Amino acid sequence: MTALTRLVASSPFRLSLGYLGAFVLVAAMIVGFIGWRANELLTSQVIETLTAEVVGLREQYQVGGAARLRDIVADRSAEPGGGLYLLTDATGRRMAGNLERPPFQAQDGQGGIFRYRRASDAVTRKDRMAVGVPLAVPGGLTLVVGRDIEDQRQFAATIRNVALWSVGLLALVGIGAGLLISRSVLARIEAINGAARTIMTGDLSSRIPVAGSGDELDRLSSSLNDMLGRIEELMGALREVSNNIAHDLRTPLNRLRNHAEEALRHPDDPGLYRAALTKTIEEADELIRTFNSLLLIARLEGRAVAESMTRVDVGAIVADVAELYEPVAEEAGLQLAAEVAPGVVITANRELVSQAVANLVDNAIKYSASETGQDGLVSVTLVERPEAVEIAVSDRGPGVAPEDRQRALQRFVRLEKSRSAPGSGLGLSLVAAVARLHGGGIRLEDNAPGLRAVLTLPKAGVKPETSVPVSKARGLGTAPAVPSTAST
């Protein structure tokens, strides 16, 4: 496709061509109508004048007879202007007037257009147009009164020509402008096209150029760029996840395979068989657990779940989890202190929030226990803010360095120091996913010493509430979602 055919085929050009066509058509119709109407109006005006004059002349005849009529006609014929007269007697001989011969048969009132030649035009032999009205006068006389309309016709012709020229010029300028506009629009769309093709061939980091004018093409480009950014982010996340899955799932799968192989190498040792199979089941369970966590996180992040949100007492949820873990902490030589007052009602999923809090407490106990020589306190607090609740789990463990905190919330990330501790490394990212699902967030802070994980949940949840009398009684309507503090 050549540049010109592409230009002509472009939608802006076709669009401007269409507009132009419609415009020219309407303009031509208007000009034509005005011309026709003007001509009509002028002609009828002339005929009216003529008729009035004829009536006047007839009266003159009645008063003064043929002689008077002849004198008046002779007088008027001599006057400059457009007046045309011819008075003939019964034999058709000219008695007075400035017309050479009668333009048409004398029939009273039946006027019309005729051609005549002025004496001054004898050399050019050019006929002029006129309108005339014949009048039969008693006594066999015939009078024709006319008006020259050549000037009027020429004026109309001039207007017509000017109109035609302007419409033609308009069409030309329009087509030119259409081509220019199409070219510039086409160039920008081509740029977007080109960028899109580059991106499609695999370079996700490429972006569509933005002209900076803030027009709709720029807005389109920015939207597409934002979309590309999101896609790139997701692709990156996906790549990282698959890398991590490859690592964290292949390792236990490999161990599982090793146990089976080892058992097969010693065919006559039932004890070893037993041990190997037990270990195989343990590894399988661990794998299943990891898979389940991964799936749950994926479901929560994909919002594919319509997990039922209800009004729940978050105080009771936190207290229950603390109670569940209290003996575990004690066994690990730690003290689990929960300062939680029940009766704080929020819109949330009890199961998911329980699991998130359990993960935080589990982590706190796990990492504090591996650290010796500390006073070993894990504290769980619930703070009620106007729009949200903050559940904080603090420990006196090794903590997480500020630069590692964001990374710790990502999937599978187990900071090097904690590699030896059991777990899939999905605990915190599950908490983050639960927080995001509820419209809240998770942040990690320094507990000096230790780590403080704060889970924020908006009181109203993310979904608009339906018939929940509790919320109405407490005046907890539709509070805006608390901005997420996690951005993994």
Partner 1 sequence: MRVLVIEDDRETAQFLQRSLKESGHAADVAGDGDTGLAMARDGKYDVLVVDRMLPRRDGLSIVQTLRSEGARTPVLILSALSGVDDRVTGLRAGGDDYLTKPYAYTELLARIEALARRPAPEELVTRYQVADLSLDRLSHKVTRDGEPILLQPREFRLLEYLMKHAGRVVTRTMLLENVWDYHFDPQTNVIDVHISRLRAKIDKGFGKPLLHTVRGAGYMIRDGAD
Q: Which residues form the interface with partner 1 (CB under 8 A)?
A: 278, 281, 284-285, 288-289, 292, 295-296, 299, 305-308, 320, 323-325, 327-328, 331, 349, 351-352, 354-355, 358-359, 362, 365-366, 422-424, 427
Q: For residues 72 and 336, which CB has a smaller minimum distance to partner 1 in the complex? A: 336
299 contacts 305 by C-beta, under 8 angstroms: yes
Shortest Cβ 365–partner 1 spacing (Å): 7
Shortest Cβ 470–partner 1 spacing (Å): 20
Shortest Cβ 180–partner 1 spacing (Å): 59
Shortest Cβ 423–partner 1 spacing (Å): 6
Q: For residues 202 and 422, which CB has a smaller minimum distance to partner 1 in the complex? A: 422
Q: For residues 34 and 421, which CB has a smaller minimum distance to partner 1 in the complex? A: 421
Using alpha carbons, select from 444, 448, 441, 366 the residue that is nearest to residue 404. Answer: 444
The DSSP bridge partners found for residue 114 are 130
In 409-468, which ranges are continuous DSSP H helix? Answer: 427-437
Shortest Cβ 355–partner 1 spacing (Å): 4
Shortest Cβ 351–partner 1 spacing (Å): 5
Q: For residues 187 and 306, which CB has a smaller minimum distance to partner 1 in the complex? A: 306
The DSSP bridge partners found for residue 116 are 128
Q: For residues 356 and 382, which CB has a smaller minimum distance to partner 1 in the complex? A: 356
**Residue 121 DSSP code:** G
Q: For residues 173 and 341, which CB has a smaller minimum distance to partner 1 in the complex? A: 341
Q: For residues 90 and 306, which CB has a smaller minimum distance to partner 1 in the complex? A: 306
Shortest Cβ 418–partner 1 spacing (Å): 13
Shortest Cβ 488–partner 1 spacing (Å): 20
Q: For residues 137 and 364, which CB has a smaller minimum distance to partner 1 in the complex? A: 364
- φ/ψ bin of 99: left (φ > 0), alpha (ψ from -120 to 50), beta (otherwise): beta
Q: How many CA atoms lie within 13 A of 356 on its CB side?
A: 33
